[in-house]
Structure 1
Amino acid sequence: MRSVIAATAMFAALLHPAQAATPAELFDFWIGDWVVSWKNANGSPGQARNRVSKILDGKVIEEDFAGDPAVTPRLLGRSLSVMDKAGVWRQAWADNQGGFFALSGGAEGETRFFTTAFQPVGEQLKGQRMRFYDIRPDSFDWDWEGSSDGGKTWTLIWRLHYRRAQS
């Protein structure tokens, strides 16, 4: 009986993976060991490993991103994501290249996102966001986007494809 229930739940998640998530589970799809790939500006392939796990009684998502060791400079980064007491997802990202981002997250339909606060820069209102979409059990796509008009329009900066690492 348990196997029938588990199979039914898995089938339902395959049909509607993002809709099944409660607010506290919005980013559970991200948990796992991932091989990440992309195309660099010069057309060469890029690759990284991203290990994402739940820590601190399952309340915090920890990300450990490690770029290809053959590439210099190698990007290494970490993030912590948590749903705060007000029910808002928060993420802090830091990396070995001086990057730091504080982001707020949520969902729009089946798309998940983390967005920076918008900051005035001259006449522009700039911000950035990561968007998780086409979420499937063993893969998803992730875009890093920028906006200079307060989020009315977004420009692609970096597109990554995640696929679950083979054990």
Structure 2
Amino acid sequence: MTSPFLDALGADGPSADRAGKMDLYGRFIGSWDIDVRQFSEDGKERRRAGEWHFGWALEGRAIQDVWIVPPRGELRHGDAAARVNSYGTTLRVYDPDIDAWRIQWTDPVTRTFLQMIGREESGEIVQLGTRPDGQLARWSFRDITPDSFFWRGEVSADDGKRWRVVTEFTARRRPSSARA
């Protein structure tokens, strides 16, 4: 499906004025299947499948993704009212003024909205922000290869002294998904 809106949003690649800097997240362009593990405060684990799609946006000055759990096509048990499904988007924009990425996560299903700052740290990508409840949030991409990565979501209620894992994704690139 094409539309004037999607044509205006999408881009064929990174903008020349951000050369090199877009590579941090640009390596994820394409489609991924994800194995999702969610951990409640009492330690119970829930495991589900999902899908994650990354693309160039806004004349190649941003990378946008869509994160869907469970994948489309499956029965989406628990609908939006149960707040267990996820269908949201992240907009990542490199900001030369701070030499880092400004990130906005929006999930209208779970009514989750989060702003973060992302940077490369020792070969990993670490995003930091503060949730509406005041807890710190840390999202990290680790063990990154051309066809796989591990993503972890953590929270801290004590200003980063201790972190609790809330979500982990193991991602595998779809064979038909072209890399950037």
TM-score of the pair, normalised by structure 2 = 0.71
In 1: Cα distance, 2:101 partner to 2:46 partner = 34
In 1, are the aligned partners of 2:38 and 2:166 still within 8 Å (CA)? no
Query: How far apart are residue 155 of structure 1 and its match?
Result: 1.7
Query: How far apart are residue 113 of structure 1 and its match?
Result: 1.5
Partner of 2:56: 54
Q: Once superposed, which parts of structure 1, at least 4 consecutive aligned residues long, lie more than 4 Å away?
A: 40-44, 118-121
In 2: Cα distance, 1:84 partner to 1:117 partner = 19
In 1: Cα distance, 2:61 partner to 2:167 partner = 28
Could you give the per-residue CA deviations for residues 1-25 of structure 1, whole angstroms, max 9, x where no partner exists? xxxxxxxxxxxxxxxxxxxx94432
In 2: Cα distance, 1:164 partner to 1:48 partner = 12
% of aligned pairs identical? 26
In 2, are the aligned partners of 1:119 and 1:127 still within 8 Å (CA)? no
Which among 55, 71, 91 is matched to residue 80 of structure 1?
91
In 2, are the aligned partners of 1:63 and 1:79 still within 8 Å (CA)? yes
Which among 104, 114, 124 is matched to residue 111 of structure 1?
124
In 1: Cα distance, 2:110 partner to 2:133 partner = 24
Is 140-149 or 68-77 further displaced after alignment? 68-77
Q: What letter corresponds to residue 32 of structure 2 in structure 1?
A: W
Could you give the per-residue CA deviations for residues 34-76 of structure 1, whole angstroms, max 9, x where no partner exists? 0011235555530111110111221100111122242323310
In 2: Cα distance, 1:46 partner to 1:94 partner = 20
Secondary structure of the structure 2 residue equivalent to 1:54: strand
Q: Which runs of 5+ in 1 are unaligned?
A: 1-20
Which among 130, 135, 140 is matched to residue 139 of structure 2?
130
Question: How many residues in Structure 1 have an aligned counterpart in Structure 2?
Answer: 143
Partner of 1:165: 174
Secondary structure of the structure 2 residue equivalent to 1:36: strand
Q: Which runs of 5+ in 2 are unaligned?
A: 1-18, 80-84
Secondary structure of the structure 2 residue equivalent to 1:57: helix
Is 111-120 or 64-73 further displaced after alignment? 111-120
Q: Is 1:147 aligned to 2:156, yes or no?
A: yes
In 2: Cα distance, 1:77 partner to 1:119 partner = 17
Which among 34, 37, 47 is matched to residue 35 of structure 2?
37
Give the number of the structure with larger relative contact order, counting CA–CA contacts within 8 Å between residues 6 or more apart: 2
In 1, are the aligned partners of 2:114 and 2:130 still within 8 Å (CA)? no
